[in-house]
Amino acid sequence: MTQTAPNLFGYKKYWAQRFGTAFELPMSMAEMDTLNWDSCDIILVTGDAYIDHPSFGMAVIGRVLEAQGFRVGIISQPDWTSVEDFRKLGRPNLFFGVTGGNMDSMVNRYTSDKKIRSNDAYTANGEGGKRPDRAVNVYSHRCREAYKKVPIIIGGIEASLRRIAHYDYWSDKVRKSVLMDSKADILVYGNAERQIVEIAHRLATKEAISEIKGIRGTVHFVKQIPLDWTEKDSTAIDAPGIINPPIDPYQAEPACDKKPSPSNIEKIIQFTRRIPNTQRSKTVIRIPDYETVKDDPVLYAHASRVMHGETNPGNARPLIQRHGTRQIWINPPPIPLTTKEMDGVFDQPYSRLPHTQYGDANIPAFEMIQHSINIMRGCFGGCTFCSITEHEGRIIQSRSENSIIKEVEAIRDTSPNFTGHISDLGGPTANMYRLACKDKKIEEACRRPSCVYPGICDNLDTNHSSLIKLYRRARAIPGIKKIFIASGLRYDLAVESPEYVKELVTHHVGGYLKIAPEHTENGPLSKMMKPGMGTYDRFKQMFDKYSKEAGKEQYLIPYFIAAHPGTKDLDMLNLALWLKSNGFRADQVQAYLPSPMSISTAMYHSGKDTLRKVSRKADNMAIPKSIKQRRLHKAFLRYHDPKNWPMLREALKKMGRSDLIGNGKKHLIPSFQPNNVRTSTKQGKSLKFKTKFTTNINSNKGKSKTSKRFKNSTRQA
């Protein structure tokens, strides 16, 4: 049955609509006075600098709530060491909305090696240290301290990916749901416009926050399962191998002369609720509780599998998980926005600028996206290491062509430093615009984690004609000189449409196109749910062909991941050999970082392949966890860097591949160490290498202008 939802912009507007819209949402009492506000209805607290642009979550939520008639204020990057900054806009009439920002605060602050980053792209002048670790928790506690009885709603990527008990890479343990640790009232996950708007209107009618339950895309507390619901144990859906048998409630029945204890009554009630219920819409799945999964990696992996199986809005059921004496209820994902609703979200009166309080300060994230346009949401790729699907869902939500063109024209006409170049026309993926299942009923019933792995589903429409039409119309707008496509490209989809590849390569590549094969070896690729290198080769052939036809010298820049679960040392060696044989020397490499709640993270923590039914007897996967092995895997990606040669020599000898050490073209690394290169001091601190090495984009092209530019930095290692 097709799921429906109220029109996002169909609610009766709140009475405060009389104040009109603000050029930018206020961040001070003085700005509120200018708007003739005596208070804010809603205050949003964020770990990012406030930029009124639709690429920033708090700006979107703030403007959508403003469109409902509410007065919305912003507290950006508050001083969390005291409560004062959380009181600077006064007491909100309805609620605090709290987010860590566009990135998880831990990912934002720490590298994959758990080193503190020196800068923050979402802060004025890139200054680091402007947000706390686990910002959602810290901000929520301060909001509660500031105004005890004001409801607190948490959301954004940090809350979304921590909505259940989750493995936390930085503390190397399973943590409680962030709803528990933050002591907030409700968690909203995903993009959250539907949820937050409904909550705001219900609070505006004086409904108690404790009574607001059952909204899709939210997590809240429950004392017990409603009587008209049936509980189904997750092990009945996906048996995780040998586990402790369930308690037989009949053995716990009291003798006739004794009164039943409360605990025994609860066991009997829970048992009766497990009786099969024909009403699927009234079934909740109980996943193992926090106290169990924190000490049992196999059951953690099982809970992860069940949770990922309940992510399709068309068939997902609620989940319930106990944390000590409390229980959290995870509602199914929200119904995707329609095209009309998406247009409404992006058509709000964003200034598209940082708040005026930042003056002339440079905010790196803004500089990167100020002239980019988001045309869609969601991703059906299902890459196991990626958080897009867990956050935005698998259903693609696309804007209309007219709405996108309108935004291009707005940038042209209003951006103070626009030079005619649109930096991106994309989204989570560059080429999933308007792609969907051919049959709505099949889509609503599907439980596949990916529409494109291990191959493209026969039911997926891969027609790129709508995107081609959009590109052509956008670049024909007067005043537009060039439109680049910088979003991640699914080249396995692109090769299904040669016309699209030709359009992209001929008009929308600025010399280099970044794509992400992630690896060359089938072992790691199968754990990532990524296509094999045969697909990459097909795309490269098309790319080179159409670049030549267009008379352009253009290059592919492939990205790879080191130390992903399932990766062995031999896999990284083979990847290094592929890089060398193709003339690639990567400057920046990415080591796998286990983000909360992803499938890969469940693999990393449990050591099991969670793409299959988890069993205690199943073989353990290769998991590169030690610092030494992770550094080795990164070193293979940078085989050309002399600082890595001693480590690689040692590894190659242990692997029985000393034949790759030598001074010829067939060797991976030389047998000598340059005099001007030292790998470490006696204290173990790295020293800088005197010779600059730059990525060789494509050494097979001959001595072109570009290759000459890299001549001195691309010598064979």
Backbone φ and ψ of 326, nearest 5°: -115, 160
pTM over 0.75: yes
Other CB atoms within a 10 A radius of the CB of residue 30 amount to 8
* Whether residue 1 has pLDDT greater than 60: no
- Name 405's Cβ contacts closer than 8 Å, sequence gap at least 6: 473, 474, 477
Where are the domain boundaries for CATH 3.30.750.210 in the chain?
Answer: 367-508
700 or 25, which is more confident: 25
pLDDT bucket at 702, cuts 50 / 70 / 90: very low
Instruction: Give the model's pLDDT for residue 711.
Output: 29
* Residues 467-506: tens digit of each pLDDT: 999 999 999 999 999 999 999 999 999 999 999 999 999 9
Alpha-carbon radius of gyration of the chain: 27
* Whether residue 655 has pLDDT greater than 60: yes
Instruction: Give the model's pLDDT for residue 274.
Output: 43
Domain topology for 367-508: Transcription Regulator spoIIAA (3.30.750)
- Name 275's Cβ contacts closer than 8 Å, sequence gap at least 6: 230
For residue 423, the one-letter residue type is: S
CA distance 609 to 626: 19
Closest CA to 392 of 408, 381, 400: 381
Torsion angle in degrees (nearest 10) through CA of 219, 222, 228, 230: 70
Instruction: Give the model's pLDDT for residue 687.
Output: 34
Instruction: Give the model's pLDDT for residue 590.
Output: 87
pLDDT bucket at 531, cuts 50 / 70 / 90: very high
Q: Is the dihedral of CA 587, 560, 122, 85 positive or negative?
A: negative
* Whether residue 255 has pLDDT greater than 50: no
Best CATH choice for the domain 1-217+334-349 from the list 3.40.190.10, 3.30.360.10, 3.40.50.280, 3.40.50.2300? 3.40.50.280
Closest CA to 356 of 412, 445, 416, 278: 416
Where are the domain boundaries for CATH 3.40.50.280 in the chain?
Answer: 1-217+334-349
Instruction: Give the model's pLDDT for residue 696.
Output: 38
pLDDT bucket at 387, cuts 50 / 70 / 90: confident
What is the arrangement of strands in the sheet containing 590-591, beginning at the earlier edge strand?
512-518, 555-562, 590-591
CA distance 490 to 517: 9
* Residues 361-386: tens digit of each pLDDT: 999 999 999 999 999 999 999 999 99
Instruction: Give the model's pLDDT for residue 260.
Output: 40
Q: Quick check: bond before 349 cis, omega within 30? A: no
* Whether residue 264 has pLDDT greater than 50: no
Instruction: Give the model's pLDDT for residue 100.
Output: 97
Mean pLDDT (the chain, rounded): 89
* CA angle centred on 527, ends 522 and 533, rounded to 5°: 30
